[in-house]
Amino acid sequence: MVGTIMDLIRLIRLLGPRRLLALRRNYRLTLPALRGYVITTVFWSLLEEGFMDRLKDGGRLSPGAYAGERGLDRGVLQSLCVYLEGAGLLALEGDECLLTPPGLAMLAEPRGIYELVRGYRPLFDGLGDLLAGKIKYGVDIAKEGEWVARGTGRLGSQLPFPIIAEVVRRRGYGRILDLKCNDGALLVMLAERGARRGFGIDDDPAAIKCALSAVSAAGMGGRIDAWEGDLFDVGGLSERCGDIDLIIAFDVFHEHLCGGPGKIVKLIGKLGVSFPGAHLLIAEFCRLPEEKVRNASKPFLEHELIHGLTGQKVLSESEWEELIAATPYSIIEKRVFGLIGHGYFLLK
């Protein structure tokens, strides 16, 4: 205690009280940003290695034993665990660690957004070159499909997928085509809730690998087909799927709007010709008012940044309605959740 007081007196004499208070204030204000970056990077590494899920499932885990089992560097793993203890996410007891309530929370509902952003890590790693115009997204760098698929599936399972499942149940759709199936979570949920047959397409081979694994784990191999392909090859879709009751476009159309709505309007028209009896459910982001986007308590800021850097365009509710009006379809049911900026347009 005496040493602490004497240290403080020495620092006041050296820097002056105003400078010392300013340093303390500035660190208090800015350290959370640095710590958030480091925590996220460490979390990604341990998540990718399987450590976090093993810890969550087992309750307790010895970092040294896990490192030996997986051939990891014991010292590095121990350092990461010590850091996460200091950050409040883990607790160390002897040679074992366990998750604290904040650590458990990171592996629950928010996990999807961490996985989704992890999929865009190449974008952020190359941000300096992107800013300087030396590289282009989609040409020189790309997202990591497996992480984006996982994150999208986990986020969708929280709210969008149950909303879609309720529409499917209420209207009795039995044969479903998912135009971007990601990790297959939506098709599996719909099959578990009564859909007879599911078909999923995705242009990312890593996403399809995740989807096929999920379908197999759920024992749905005889009811769900998923394959890598081009969703704009509508003729190929109809040949493979046959008659469809409902086509689902979940968070996919906005990826193709940077050049205007024409490409999607044309695609929807082709879908109407190839699947004349099917309804189309567009589940999409609806642009939020600026004051909501800047709400730092929700991940809207990060979401908007990723869209801006990758050329994805989010339409407002009225703009989606204008796009739909340019197609052969009409809206028969609409639900828009302004709180999360997501809309559901069922078309016929």
pLDDT-derived band of residue 292, with 50, 70 and 90 as boundaries? Answer: low
DSSP, collapsed to helix, strand or coil, labels residue 233 as coil
Entry pTM: 0.89
Q: List, in sequence order, every residue forming a beta bridge with 283; answer none if it has no partner.
A: 250, 344
Annotation: CATH topology of 16-107 = Arc Repressor Mutant, subunit A (1.10.10)
Residue 235 has what pLDDT? 86
Residue 16 has what pLDDT? 81
Residue 221 has what pLDDT? 93
From the list 182, 121, 175, the residue with the least C-alpha distance to 157 is: 182
What is the DSSP secondary structure assignment for residue 71, as one 8-state letter? T
In degrees to the nearest 10, what's the CA dihedral of 304, 305, 306, 311? 80
pLDDT-derived band of residue 3, with 50, 70 and 90 as boundaries? Answer: low
Average pLDDT over every residue of 242-247: 96
> What sign for the dihedral angle of Cα 247, 166, 223, 214?
positive
Lowest mean pLDDT among 10-24, 130-144, 174-188: 10-24
What is the DSSP secondary structure assignment for residue 249, as one 8-state letter? E
Query: What are the start-end ranges of the E strands in 1-124?
Result: 90-93, 96-99
Residue that wins the pLDDT comparison between 336 and 290: 336
Work out the percent of the chain whose per-residue pLDDT is above 70.
97
Q: How high does pLDDT run on average in the chain?
A: 93
3-state helix, strand, coil in the chain (%, to 5): 55, 15, 30
Residue 21 has what pLDDT? 84
In which residue ranges of the chain is CATH 3.40.50.150 found?
148-347
Residue 8 has what pLDDT? 72
Q: Checking DSSP bridges between strand 279-285 and strand 246-250, what pairing results, if any?
A: parallel
The CATH number assigned to the domain with range 148-347 reads: 3.40.50.150
Residue entry with tokens 């051939």? 71
Residue 7 has what pLDDT? 77
H helix runs in the chain, sequence order: 2-15, 17-49, 51-58, 63-70, 74-86, 101-106, 111-119, 121-125, 127-131, 145-158, 160-171, 185-192, 205-217, 234-241, 262-274, 290-293, 300-310, 317-325
Residue 296 has what pLDDT? 59
Residue 295 has what pLDDT? 65
Buried b (16+ CB within 10 A) or exposed e, 110-127: ebbbbbbbbbbbebeeee
In degrees to the nearest 10, what's the CA dihedral of 103, 107, 110, 114? 100
Residue 6 has what pLDDT? 78
Residue 2 has what pLDDT? 54
In which residue ranges of the chain is CATH 1.10.10.10 found?
16-107
Average pLDDT over every residue of 59-76: 96
Residue that wins the pLDDT comparison between 274 and 289: 274
> What sign for the dihedral angle of Cα 54, 55, 60, 61?
positive
Work out the percent of the chain whose per-residue pLDDT is above 90.
81
